[in-house]
Amino acid sequence: MRIQAAVLRSYEGPFTVEEMTLRTEPAVGEVLVEIAGCGMCRTDLAVRRSAGRSPLPAVLGHEGAGVVVRTGGGPDAAIGVGDHVVLSFDSCGHCRNCRSAAPAYCDSFASLNLFGGRSEDPPHLTDAAGEAMAPRWFGQSSFAAYALVPARNAVRVDTALPLELLGPLGCGFLTGAGAVLNSFGAGPGDTLAVFGAGAVGLAAVMAATATGTLTVAVDRLPERLALAERFGAIPLSAATTGLPERIRRLTDGGAQYALDTTASPPLVNDALRALRPRGVLGLVARLHTDLPLAPGTLDRGRGIRHICEGDAVPGVLIPRLTGLWQAGLFPFDQLIRTYPLADINEAERDCEAGRVVKPVLLPEERSR
């Protein structure tokens, strides 16, 4: 099948929308999905800064949603033709962590999602000159009109939902909301400080508000703080003098939980200082420098841990989030701006400049 897809050919160059040939006969355990929309995530853009660790040329995109048009059968044959699905991260399904309902910590997570894919898989995308693209990105490569994906990372959703907007529930929004709902298990009477009001941080704010958790949101951009306040958080500028002390006052002695989405060492230290005794800080962003911790930041039982993909089982959390959206409690659609796939470079520029929280790319026929 010949399809349109956005290709990244060099770490410094623009995306190019090209005609590609896609292998369309799903193997056992695979499904072919017509993409309705795909979110652009910071992880996609981080490929540019991967120092060659992510092979190019590649079709990126890992927040896809669409309609199943073919299936290869197999153990996940419950996914059928015509089903509406959200695509999430890939996992092997048989390692100890996968069997323990922790697929985000799959032993093969890096190879399946980031650095090469299943070596036994034949190439699934080739360009007009016959050059094979890098193996599937997060099991998807969904910056395209169609994606051939493992059925394991496809989650069926209600056909009444706005399918073209649902893709970010597979990663960015899942990560922020999952940190609150799964990693922290926050609820009424708990307190939370969120550092960074981007897509992940604002999803955490919405989930916390839905559970009755008092939340403080920290960011440097006034427009992001205004969004956090709209979604129920107390806004606080990152430039506030005595930031940890201010958070402790607002949370009656300190936050029980803090979530850092910035990977900024000074803000990580502020987050730890803002915790009450036995409080927990979760980190979701990849650190690119050493993380020096100031004396006393881990005193009195405070803890720090990394959270991957919101500790989510996508097949459980994604339906929970769509249910909250239908109840008016998780308005993630208010963070989205859609772009035709052909405008992917504009979407990237807007994302990097902070002009949009969550870009979603629509294949050309969907964008009309």
Tell me whether residue 37 is in a domain.
yes
Tell me what pLDDT residue 160 has: 96
Which pLDDT does position 367 carry in this prediction? 38
CA distances 60 to 54, 76, 274, 309, 344, Å, are 10, 24, 37, 18, 11
Residues of the chain with pLDDT under 50: 366-368
Domain count, the chain: 2
- Considering the domain boundaries, does residue 317 fall inside one? no
Is there a single domain that holds both residue 155 and residue 70? yes
Q: Please check whether residues 193 and 50 belong to one and the same domain.
A: no
| Residue 73 pLDDT | 84
The verdict on 232 and 156 lying in the same domain is no
CA–CA distance, 338 with 249 (Å, rounded to integer): 39
Do 165 and 35 reside in the same domain of the chain?
yes
Is residue 144 domain-resident? yes
- Write out the residue range of the structural domain in which residue 11 sits: 2-170+331-362
Q: Are residues 130 and 79 in the same domain?
A: yes
Q: What is the pTM of this model?
A: 0.94
Please tell me the distance from the alpha carbon of residue 85 to that of residue 66, in angstroms, as a whole number. Answer: 6
d(CA 206, CA 202): 6
Residue 221 dihedral angles phi and psi, to the nearest 5°: -100, 125
Q: What is the CATH number of the domain that holds 242?
A: 3.40.50.720
Helix (H, G, I), strand (E, B) or coil at 147: strand
- Residue 311: what pLDDT? 98
Using one digit for the tens of pLDDT, what is the confidence trace for 253-300? Answer: 999 999 999 999 999 999 999 999 999 999 999 888 899 999 989 999
Residue 206 lies in a domain: yes
Say if residue 8 is in the same domain as residue 104. Answer: yes
113 and 213 inside one domain: no
What whole-number distance in Å separates Cα of residue 85 and Cα of residue 233? 31
Write down the pLDDT at residue 366: 45
Residue 220 domain-assigned?
yes
10 and 148 both lie in a single domain: yes
Can you give the CATH number for the domain in which 79 is found?
Answer: 3.90.180.10
Residues 128 and 11 in one domain: yes
Check residue 227 and give its pLDDT: 97
The CB density around residue 131, as the number of other CB atoms within 10 Å, is 12
Q: Assess if residue 313 is contained within a domain.
A: no
Residue 321 in any domain: the answer is no
Indicate if 208 and 341 belong to the same structural domain. Answer: no
Cα-based distances in Å from 150 to 30, 112, 166: 4, 11, 18
Q: Look-up: residue for tokens 């999430």?
A: 88
In a domain, 326, yes or no: no
Under 8 Å between Cβ of 46 and 286? yes
Residues 12, 154 within the same domain: yes
